[in-house]
Amino acid sequence: MENIYIKLSEYIPSERIFLNEPMKKHTSFRIGGPADIMVLPDSEEEIIHALKVCKDTSVPFFIMGNGSNLLVRDKGIRGVVIKISENYSKIKIDGTSINAQSGVLLSTLSRAAVRNSLKGLEFASGIPGTLGGAVTMNAGAYGGEMKDVVVSVRCIDSNGNIHILQKEDMNFGYRTSRIQAADLIVSEVNMELEYGDQQESLDLMADLARRRREKQPLAYPSAGSTFKRPVGYYAGKLIQDCGLKGLRIGDAQISELHAGFIINLGNATAQNVIDLIKKVQDIIYDKYGVEMIPEVRIVGEE
């Protein structure tokens, strides 16, 4: 890893390269063992340089945003973690068009849109993730999805090549896109919104925030909704109907406020969460014959 560190620091300042970095500092779950190396790039060129170093040295790499939909196993992540977040988050607005780097938070992006009297991103104001992650999984809430506003996506493949995908090339689906299927990395996103009434947008965002506070366990670390919505069902209702609210393994607990969330009561391990996910899957499959597929991404050394 020392050799990798030296090669990375030839182009990326050493203050943005970390050795044995605890992943619990970088996930909303506040769980996870150390990454061998973490890099915080602030340009597309630095992202490509990190990818090239990993390819040339045959070292595995993992791309992440701000870790809001991520569970890192307790042994951590081997290789290089490239965190594309606040260091790569510029926004440009021209009329109703927005170009933004993939590390910008959705909350920041939606506020910038409203400041420019643009509507269409209000649904994203409370989603705790980056633009890149949101486009990759076609994130959505309260009737809106990223596919509704995306025009094109500039992305990078694992060899450092640039690709421009138009909306029709993105294969957006429920919590999926071509970015996932082709293992691409979102660099920049072009979006098209509409002019709207600024106060109406602010009121809508305030209403959505209130609804989240009332229905979601925001006081505890979590990775958001734990499971994808099964066809014809709601994950939280299935879990609740099985009487599983409050079920706990170690400090991992099914939220008593919203059964669709697993929360960290303070010192949960990744294994606690994984075991709780498995227990929920088994109980619901036995009772309803429904397969519960995790929405949270589970990564790291087993």
Residue 103 lies in a domain: yes
pLDDT confidence of residue 2: 83
Residue 205 lies in a domain: no
Residue 270 lies in a domain: yes
Which of the following is catalytic: 175, 188, 201, 222? 175
pLDDT confidence of residue 199: 97
* Among candidate residues 40, 62, 83, the one where a domain is terminated: 83
Does the annotation count 115 as an active-site position? no
pLDDT confidence of residue 157: 96
Which has the closest alpha carbon to 106: 240, 237, 243, 224?
A: 224
CATH number at residue 45: 3.30.43.10
**Claim to verify: residue 95 and residue 180 sit in the same structural domain:** yes
**Claim to verify: residue 229 and residue 271 sit in the same structural domain:** yes
CATH number at residue 295: 3.90.78.10
**Claim to verify: residue 105 and residue 187 sit in the same structural domain:** yes
Residue 262 lies in a domain: yes
Torsion angle of C-alpha atoms 202, 206, 211, 214, degrees rounded to 10: 170
Distance, in Å, from the CA atom of 213 to the CA atom of 199, rounded to the nearest integer, reads: 21
Residue 206 lies in a domain: no
Number of domains in the chain: 3
**Claim to verify: residue 113 and residue 53 sit in the same structural domain:** no
Which has the closest alpha carbon to 241: 225, 254, 223?
A: 254
Distance, in Å, from the CA atom of 271 to the CA atom of 250, rounded to the nearest integer, reads: 9
**Claim to verify: residue 239 and residue 147 sit in the same structural domain:** no
pLDDT confidence of residue 53: 96
pLDDT confidence of residue 1: 81
Residue 186 lies in a domain: yes
Does the annotation count 68 as an active-site position? no
Which of the following is catalytic: 68, 177, 225, 255? 225
Residue 138 lies in a domain: yes
Which H or E run contains 249? strand 248-249
Structure tokens at 209: 């925030």
* Among candidate residues 28, 48, 83, the one where a domain is terminated: 83
Which of the following is catalytic: 43, 117, 192, 295? 295
Residues of the chain with pLDDT under 50: none
Category of 301 on φ-ψ map: left (φ > 0), alpha (ψ -120 to 50) or beta = beta
pLDDT confidence of residue 150: 98
Residue 211 lies in a domain: no
Does the annotation count 210 as an active-site position? no
Measure the CA angle with vertex 42, ends 38 and 43; round to 5°.
120
Distance, in Å, from the CA atom of 282 to the CA atom of 93, rounded to the nearest integer, reads: 48
Q: Which structural domain, as residue segments, surrounds residue 16?
A: 2-83
